[in-house]
Structure 1
């Protein structure tokens, strides 16, 4: 498997996306990692055991200047403001 130092995280690890890229095909929208995980540009994945991970993009981070006057998500749920 991985011959890098330090070794890449195995595909079963929570941080498996930190493994090194061994093949990149941006024109097709995917990369192959050293631990045999295929990651697509929409953040979906195919794991070595052929399970599919659906896209899991996080919410965009707004610059602080755009956040002024807004409540946090937690405040929206509790009805308070910060």
Structure 2
């Protein structure tokens, strides 16, 4: 889906979240990236093939 240069990383790569946003819906809590990845505010993801990536936000633990 990415048509600019340099091309964004594919949705299955470890750095997929750096792709450009092509549709932003902050009121619904998600962005569509040019590589087809849906990224949610809770850090969860939906890959173009339908696979789900669970939220991976790091939580700080008070000691």
Question: Which sections of structure 1, spanning at least 5 residues, go unmatched?
Answer: 61-69, 71-82
Q: Which residue number corresponds to residue 5 of structure 2?
A: 5
Q: Which residue number corresponds to residue 79 of structure 1?
A: none
Greater share of helix = 1
Please state if 1:57 is matched with 2:62.
no
How large is the RMSD of aligned CA atoms in angstroms?
Answer: 1.3
| Aligned length, in residue pairs | 61
Q: Which structure has the greater CA radius of gyration?
A: 1
Q: Which residue number corresponds to residue 35 of structure 1?
A: 35
Superposed CA offset, 1:16-46 (max 9, x none) = 0110000000000000000000000000000
Greater share of strand = 2
Residue 59 of structure 1, CA deviation: 3.4
Question: Which sections of structure 2, spanning at least 5 residues, go unmatched?
Answer: none
Q: Which residue number corresponds to residue 78 of structure 1?
A: none
Q: TM-score, normalised by structure 2?
A: 0.89
Query: Higher RCO, 1 or 2 (CA under 8 Å, sep at least 6)?
Result: 2
